[in-house]
Amino acid sequence: MKLFNTLTRRKEEFVPLEEGKVRMYVCGPTVYNLIHIGNARPMIVFDTVRRYMEYKGYEVNYVSNFTDVDDKIIKKAIEEGVGAEEVSNRYIEECRKDMAGMNVKPATTHPQATQEIEGMIEMIQTLIDKGYAYAVADGTVYFRVKKFKEYGKLSHKNLDDLQSGFRALKVSGEDQKEDPLDFVLWKPKKEGEPSWPSPWCDGRPGWHIECSVMSKKYLGEEIDIHAGGEDLVFPHHENEIAQSECCNGKIFAKYWMHNAFLNIDNRKMSKSLGNFFTVREISEQYDLQVLRFFMLNAHYRSPLNFSAELMESSKNALERIVEAAARLKDRKEAAKAEKLTEAEKALLTEAGGYVVKFEEAMDDDFNTADALAAVFELVKFANTNVTEESSGEFAAGLFDLLVKLCDVLGLIVEKKEEILDKDIEDLISERQAARKAKNFARADEIRDELLAKGIELKDTREGVKWKRV
Ligand code: AMP
Ligand code: ZN
């Protein structure tokens, strides 16, 4: 399996740090609004990477954070006259719903920045002790960029060029910095903002430190893959590398993967430009499986332009797969003969060729567009070769192949079975018991499992309420 590593700018063979295991961290959204479909691109792309790794037999520890302390969240909270926590919790819940709709698996852990402040203070202190960071008079702590000789290795930027660019940009209010390149690790609180005590001042962490800390806590000092959208390469990921490698004295991540932008009229879709569609808006018009298909029909490193025409053609294409699956299912149930004939055996072997094609495409830096092409070849093959005379075993064999490949891409081609009320109640009881036992991971898992089945839970004073969404 080869993947493109931003660090070396080459496709490299994937060799895990520990045999059979993958440790992967994906930078998650800042939760101050409903996510837009640009934010959905890394979610879908890296969920597919994870699914393919699992298909290949790896055990994947997948961590993705929610940034729940940030200027934009605070601004929104002030506008609404509520606490920052209320805003972030609301949008975390909404984000989980969107993820479930797009069939993005919940991460092994979804840490939240505000729950990890202690670890951040610890890492900042280590950086100060090692001479990589310093506190100034007002309690702000900065990272001493020039002390890390490898700074710029991910974004392939040279310190001198950065230096001259920054000199021109030097802004007032930051004159306490030793060097314009230095970035913030901890900043003093402002009136009305959430803050935490620290050895330097009451305040809050800078953005970059949270990922270094959460990655270390949940995955260890060295990880296999760190990923996110390409706008994160500089400065976010560059700064994460500086913090983690100076603190731990180890290479932070072996492979760095970045998805290209989702554009609209060839400009990046973003909140600040106002040219976005939320996932929720799209879900009113389309099944979110169509959005997933649309994303996967392009290579993740190619810019992708959003358009109504492409969504329509994605919808039609996906329908072709769903119809083929439904027909195979009917055939396997209505078949006159059970057992495979010799000719069918040979045909099934031939169909295995599409699986090989699919895997070759995915092994080549997750070329999901080519992988989908292999799925369509299988669809065509099934449509041509399965007739009323076919055996049940033959139809079932092709059905299983099709479902297996679509599942790797996270595409649901079979209608979901309705979950019964009793099963919901049982899971809710199990979740309550897990919470009592302080097994919050299991409790969250159950909530996500139910959400994936379209059941939303609400904790109220009278107990847990649920509804189908
Ligand atoms: P943010 O909430 O802005 O920090 O973004 C969360 C994730 O979405 C990051 O990995 C971003 O790189 C990614 N992202 C934001 N906008 C886009 C876009 N238009 N296309 C692709 N990825 C994006
Ligand atoms: Zn990050």
Q: What is the DSSP string of 337-366?
A: --SPPHHHHHHHHHHHHHHHHHHHHHHBT-
- Cα of 198 vs centre of ligand 2, distance in Å, is 22
CA distance 465 to 425: 10
Domain membership flag for residue 188: yes
The confidence score (pLDDT) of residue 225 equals 98
User: Do residues 210 and 334 share a domain?
Assistant: no
What CATH number is given to the structural domain containing 165? 3.40.50.620
- Ligand 1, residue 260: give the atom nearest the CA: 21
Nearest protein CA to atom 2 of ligand 1, as residue: 29
Ligand 2 center from residue 399 Cα (angstroms):
40
Q: Where do the H-state alpha helices sit in 60-133?
A: 71-80, 84-101, 117-129
Q: Cα(93)–Cα(394) distance, rounded to whole angstroms?
A: 43
Q: In 3D, which of 311, 314, 124, 315 has the Cα closest to residue 208?
A: 124
Domain boundary at 241, 259, 277, which?
259
Same domain, 350 and 245: no
Q: How many domains is the chain built from? A: 3
**Are 460 and 374 in a shared domain?**
no
Kindly state whether residues 152 and 89 are assigned to the same domain: yes
Q: What is the pLDDT of residue 460?
A: 85
Say what the pLDDT of residue 459 is.
85
Same domain, 179 and 78: yes
Q: Is residue 105 part of a domain?
A: yes
Within-domain flag for 427 = yes
Domain range for 175? 2-259
63 and 117 fall within a common domain: yes
- Establish whether the linkage from the previous residue to 235 is cis, with ω within 30° of 0: yes
**C-alpha span between 226 and 107 (Å, rounded):** 14
pLDDT given at position 93: 96
Q: So what's the pLDDT on residue 234?
A: 96
* Best of 39, 269, 282, 302 for a ligand 1 pocket test (most atoms within 8 Å of beta carbon): 39
Kindly report, residue by residue over 307-365, the tens digit of the pLDDT: 999 999 999 999 999 999 999 999 999 988 889 999 999 999 999 999 999 999 999 99
CATH of the domain at 357: 1.20.120
Task: Write out the chain's pLDDT in tens, 469 residues.
Answer: 999 999 999 999 999 999 999 999 999 999 999 999 999 999 999 999 999 999 999 999 999 999 999 999 999 999 999 999 999 999 999 999 999 999 999 999 999 999 999 999 999 999 999 999 999 999 999 999 999 999 999 999 988 878 766 665 555 456 789 999 999 999 999 988 899 999 999 999 999 999 999 999 999 999 999 999 999 999 999 999 999 999 999 999 999 999 999 999 889 999 889 999 999 999 999 999 999 999 999 999 999 999 999 999 999 999 999 999 999 999 999 988 889 999 999 999 999 999 999 999 999 999 999 999 999 999 999 999 999 999 999 999 999 999 999 999 999 998 666 677 888 888 999 999 999 999 998 998 899 888 888 888 888 888 888 887 7
* Rounded-to-integer distance, Cα 26 and Cα 9, Å: 19
Half-sphere CA count of 361, side-chain side, radius 13 A: 23
Ligand closest to 63 (CA) is: 2
Q: Quick one: pLDDT at residue 416?
A: 60
Measure 303 CA to ligand 1 centroid, in angstroms: 13
Q: Kindly list the protein residues whose Cβ atom lies closer than 6 A to any atom of ligand 1.
A: 27, 29-30, 38-39, 41-42, 228-229, 231-232, 259, 261-262, 268-270
Is residue 413 in some structural domain?
A: no
Separation of alpha carbons 456 and 469, rounded Å: 6
Cβ pair 71, 108 in contact under 8 A = no
Closest by Cα among 447, 452, 456 to 427: 447
How far, in Å, is the centroid of ligand 2 from the Cα of 113?
10
Are 398 and 429 members of one domain?
Answer: no
| pLDDT of res. 174 | 63
pLDDT of residue 417: 63
- Are 126 and 211 in the same domain? yes
Give per-residue pLDDT as tens, 92-107: 999 999 999 999 999 9
| Any domain includes 308 | no
- Are residues 164 and 53 located together in one domain of the fold? yes
pTM: 0.89
pLDDT of res. 171: 52
User: What protein residues have CB closer than 5 angstroms to ion ligand 2?
Assistant: 27, 211
Other CB atoms within a 10 A radius of the CB of residue 293 amount to: 26
Q: What confidence score (pLDDT) does residue 464 get? A: 87
Q: Name the amino acid, one letter, at 321.
A: I
pLDDT at 166 (0 to 100): 66
List C-alpha distances in Å: 86 to 14, 76, 208. 41, 10, 23
Domain assignment present for 289 = no
- Judge if 47 and 187 occupy the same domain: yes
- Is there a single domain that holds both residue 227 and residue 151? yes
Q: Ligand 1 pocket: which of 25, 41, 70, 279 to mutate (most atoms <8 Å of CB)?
A: 41
Q: Do 39 and 133 belong to one domain?
A: yes
Residue 58 lies in a domain: yes
Is residue 285 in some structural domain?
no
